[in-house]
């Protein structure tokens, strides 16, 4: 699946000239946790999340650094904290370095991006214009709604060949000790696994093969006294 298959569109956005109070109301009204900031051409220029509004003077949550951290903090860092707490305009509190992706970006790449940068959402941009947004929740929705394509069920031979080929491609799988038979879409796993985690991974691999309707697990764990 691609970003375009799960992205939310159109996107609720804010202008840099909007007030922080207006943006906070927008988050509450629409029950969202972040708002991209766009210019008049809908080019994304920033993003504001709930995290940017955590330490505000209005709520009495302005960040209080311990004295020893104050002594170590640079003046520009303290000034940045002050801006986050007291600024009235969205332009002053928004994060300007926004990580984006394209509509054809795979969900695997989206997930990797979220993990790499420690963020919760990725704005989707096409030809420089904001066209959607993908959040962690959207990825979970994709998992929950996944359906196999309706096509002719593969033969038992095809299922077995695909499973064994897949296991051979996995570094963790010791395929010389593993066998599988398939009857009417039901996979019987035979042989020896080196560990509980390998045992589980083999079963998971079998269950994930298209056309498999059930798995009978006959694998046994290699006794620790055995050697290679």
Helix axes 196-208, 156-168, angle to 10 degrees: 140
pLDDT at 70: 60
Domains recognised in the chain with CATH numbers: 3-144 (3.10.580.10), 156-221 (3.30.1340.30)
**Predicted local distance difference test score (pLDDT) of residue 150:** 46
Q: Are 93 and 87 in contact (CB under 8 A)?
A: yes
How far apart CA 202 and CA 226 sit, in angstroms, is 20
CA distances from 156 to 30, 162, 167, 179, 212 (A): 50, 10, 17, 14, 9
pLDDT for residue 71: 62
Residue 214 host element (H or E): strand 214-217
pTM of the complete model beyond 0.85: no
List, for the chain, all residue ranges whose pLDDT scores fall below the cut of 70.
Answer: 61-65, 67-74, 77-78, 146-152, 224-228
Extended strands (E) in 136-212: 178-183, 186-193
> Using an 8 Å Cβ cutoff, are 109 and 62 in contact?
no
Q: What is the dihedral of CA 21, 25, 31, 37, to 10 degrees?
A: -50
Which residue from 185, 186, 146, 193 is spatially nearest to 167, judged by alpha carbons? 193
**How many CB atoms within 10 Å of residue 11?**
18
Q: Which run of H or E residues covers position 221?
A: strand 220-221
Contacts of 73 (CB under 8 A, 6+ apart): 65
pLDDT value of residue 225 = 53
pLDDT score for 56:
80
Q: Beta strand pairing status for 214-217 and 186-193?
A: parallel
């Amino acid at each position: 699946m691609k970003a375009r298959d799960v992205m939310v569109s159109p996107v609720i956005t804010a202008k840099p000239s909007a007030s922080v109070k207006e943006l906070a109301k927008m988050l509450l009204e629409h029950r969202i946790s972040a708002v991209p900031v766009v210019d008049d051409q809908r080019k994304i220029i920033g993003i504001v999340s709930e995290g940017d509004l955590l330490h505000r003077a209005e709520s009495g949550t302005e960040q209080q650094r311990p004295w020893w951290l104050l002594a170590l903090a640079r003046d520009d860092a303290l000034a940045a904290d002050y801006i986050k707490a007291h600024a009235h305009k969205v332009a002053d509190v928004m994060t300007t370095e926004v990580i984006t992706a394209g509509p054809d970006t795979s969900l695997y790449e989206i997930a990797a991006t979220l993990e790499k940068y420690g963020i919760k959402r990725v704005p989707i941009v096409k030809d420089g214009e904001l066209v959607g947004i993908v959040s962690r929740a959207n990825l979970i929705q994709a998992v929950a709604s996944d359906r196999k394509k309706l096509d002719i069920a593969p033969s038992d031979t095809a299922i077995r060949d695909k499973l064994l080929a897949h296991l051979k491609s996995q570094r963790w799988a010791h395929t010389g000790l593993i066998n599988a038979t398939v009857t009417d879409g039901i996979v019987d796993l035979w042989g020896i696994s080196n560990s509980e985690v390998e045992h589980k991974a083999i079963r998971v691999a079998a269950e994930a093969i298209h056309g498999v309707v059930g798995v009978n697990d006959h694998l046994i764990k290699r006794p620790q006294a055995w050697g290679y």
